[in-house]
A and B are shown apart, each in its own frame.
Chain A
Amino acid sequence: MRLVVLYTFLLSLLVMPLQVFADWQRFAALKEKIQDMTPIESGLELTLPLVADDGSAVPLKVTFKGSLAEDEHITRLWILADRNPNPDVIDFEISEHIPRIELSTRIRLGESQTVYALAQSNQGNLWLAQQEVRVTVSGCLMSGDDTTAETVMSQPRVALPRNPVAGEAAELRTMINHPMETGFREDEQGNLIAQQLVESLQVTRADQPVITANFHTGTSANPFVAFFLDQFDELTFSWTDQQGQQLSEQR
């Protein structure tokens, strides 16, 4: 038993630093954001299924549990997937009004790959998390984006916590119907279907920005975002698409 432990330990010494170093350093989209900084590799947690039976809507949760200095808070968070045709999945602009960083969404993964989360604080510190996901289309299952869905936004939805109490952090959910055409897909005649995305969801409270989610080709159709708040009045949720159309909901 002890031998095994020692062996694994030695092996991890050999393999780990190399791998962790190499992984994100080789990923240009991430390197661009990190540059010469050294991200902290604990404190940020990424939750994804190890095996996804359907790459078109993989549930993702990212949670921040790291320690922050006084007056330090997380302002930016990016999700990137290294083997999607475009690595940008979704990113967030986060205000101090967010009581706890625990964000959920659904993402697209074209194939098995590593998904990264990178968080940045107002003091410029970076946190990095990563997780490998194996994508298989399970037997008896078929994936399939709907080719007929209309490329206009509809059905904006917001669900507040059932019994919201001011001052107590609770989760709220948002979703809007839209096919999120990536621009990489062909129609039946083999022509590329033009890119059509919902660009963002902006949440404000009494006109103050609370959180903004910027959606990219790696965001699943019908963008879904859930996050925590502790004040639930005077909220506005606005979705904007690439044409500049906007839909809003007030709570």
Chain B
Amino acid sequence: MSDQKNLFSSSRRQLLKGLGLVSIFPAISACAATGTSKASAGRVVVIGGGFGGATAAKYIKRGNPAIDVTLVEPNKTFYTCPFSNLVLAGERQLDSIGHNYDELQQVYGVKVVHALAQDIDPVAKRVSLSDGQSLQYDKLLLSPGIDMRWNAIEGYDEAAAELAPHAWKAGPQTLILRQQLEAMEDGDTFIMSVPGNPFRCPPGPYERASLVAHYLKQHKPRSKILILDGKDNFSKQGLFTAGWQAHYGDMIEWVSLSNDGRVVRVDAANKEVETEFGTRHKAAALNIIPPQKAGFIADRAGVTDQSGWVPVNPVTFESTQVKDIYVVGDATVAAPMPKSGFAANAQGKVAASAIVAAFAGITPLDPVWANTCYSLINPDYGISVADVYRVQDSQIIAVEGAGGLSAADASDNIRRSEAAYAVGWYNAISQDTWGTKL
């Protein structure tokens, strides 16, 4: 048994090497792209410069520099959700999770337009932007991430999010929540409302609770954390609950769906919430993570289905509904792959290779991916879950027996190493996506 375990963990490590993506790029001769002729091999517009979009833009250029790639992203600096929980805990500054588009432009020759894509005409193959420009494409790639379903919880709209932040997109929202945590008095309560599945980053809320507890334990040790959940179980639950007990005693209380955990109404001005069966809770700091859907531009492109998410062909990540539109990242229905930055980055590469192959008239290979989700229980105590995915019968499946979960009885040393791996992962994926070093 113990032999098997060793075998298992070493093979797992090998699988996860190189960000888990097993060579999917068709061999395009590099010569095709060189030479003085500036003839474009095709026009690609990428919408969204987050994990999926920035990766795709870069890898299309890497696959064939003669393809004309324009990336549309309103923000000059992209703040990652990964590690934003450390910013909440006061362990990092927001700057340290910001990335820019310099390398994509300067090294890879991606044109970057800082504007919001407002509409898409899939017949004329045109994108209209908030700055009045319109862009023509041969292939369009969307990685718009998520939008909140405003008012799905009564009283929770955009204005309410200024008072009770979701902080589920990093940046200004992260800072509002940080300020609320800083303003808490010792003994106050921090409340977080978590939606039902599917949502961005399944372990994210529980990592957030952990790191907020880490902050409160040092500065306001009599305070409480109340997690009101729309689910009866959650990602890495056993590891989280044990970690909470060990580090924070009973500071964190989790209320499940079947114990009346689902929030149905928010009074943001009074930082009060009401659950399904009428229980009211009042907070000093209130974090509402609302139900979500694909970024609105996916709707405009006509690629979403009734669920609000985008069904895709898993071999190419082309929309199953509109030709020549590829969609990656959180916006897609890629279950069992989670809505993670890791997955968005891997899918960005798959779509990039499919686009490069399509322009070259080649059939793309079937992709294989791995995903690892690290979570920190405190800055020196990490846990992880890993999976390997492939396509079978046109659907993504998790490969059985591959991947795994951190051992329940791992030593503090192992937890410390996993926390260090998490930092290594963060630096590597940031480097791979935006090329910006910390």
Q: Name A's B-contacting residues (CB within 8 A).
A: 49-54, 56-57, 59, 134, 136-144, 155, 157-159, 173, 175, 177, 221-222, 224
Contact = CB atoms under 8 A, between A and B. Distances in A.
Given A139-B337, A140-B338, A59 B202 contact: no
Interface size class of B (residues with CB under 8 A): 35 or more
B23 interface: no
A66 B294 CA distance: 32
B277 A51 contact: no
A57 B257 contact: yes
B119 interface: no
B404 to A, nearest CB: 12
B77 interface: no
Interface string B385-401: 10101000001001000
Contact of B277 (A49, A139, A173): A173
Nearest to B403: A139
B277 A175 contact: yes
A138 B335 contact: yes
Which residue, of A57, A141, A157, A177, has the highest number of chain B Cβ atoms within 10 A? A141
A157 B260 contact: yes
B329 to A, nearest CB: 14
Contacts of A155: 259
7 contacts: A53-B198, A57-B231, A139-B389, A140-B338, A142-B236, A159-B278, A222-B258
Contacts of B11: none
B196 interface: yes
Contact of B385 (A136, A139, A222): A139
Interface in B342-393: 343, 371, 373, 385, 387, 389
A245 B201 CA distance: 42
Contact of A140 (B236, B278, B395): B236
A155 to B, nearest CB: 8
A140 B306 contact: no
A51 B371 contact: no
A138 B198 CA distance: 9
A142 B233 contact: yes
Contact of B198 (A51, A142, A157): A51
A56 B232 CA distance: 9
Contacts of B201: 140
B305 interface: yes
B409 to A, nearest CB: 17
Interface string B273-307: 00011100000000000000000000000000111
Contact of A141 (B197, B257, B333): B197
Contacts of A50: 305-307, 333
Nearest to A49: B307
B51 to A, nearest CB: 15
B339 to A, nearest CB: 8
B306 A138 contact: no
Nearest to A155: B259
B338 A51 contact: no
A80 B288 CA distance: 35
B213 to A, nearest CB: 20
A136 B335 CA distance: 7
A141 B235 contact: yes
B257 A142 contact: no
Nearest to B375: A140
Nearest to A57: B232
A53 B197 CA distance: 6
Given A139-B373, A140-B373, A141-B338, A51 B333 contact: yes
A49 B195 CA distance: 15
A138 B260 contact: no
Given A50-B333, A51-B335, A138 B202 contact: yes
Contacts of A138: 197-198, 202, 335-338
B76 to A, nearest CB: 31
Contacts of A141: 197, 202, 234-235, 338
B233 A144 contact: yes
Contacts of B257: 57, 222
B335 A140 contact: no
B359 to A, nearest CB: 24
A132 to B, nearest CB: 12
B70 interface: no
In the complex, the 9 A-B pairs of residues with the closest C-beta atoms, listed nearest first: A222-B258, A53-B197, A140-B202, A140-B338, A136-B336, A139-B338, A136-B335, A139-B387, A140-B235
Contacts of A158: 277
Contacts of A144: 233, 237
Given A139-B371, A140-B236, A54 B197 contact: yes
B340 interface: yes
A140 B203 contact: yes
Nearest to B238: A142
B125 to A, nearest CB: 15
Contacts of B231: 54, 57
Given A56-B233, A139-B340, A222-B258, 6 more contacts: A54-B233, A56-B232, A139-B338, A139-B389, A143-B233, A177-B258
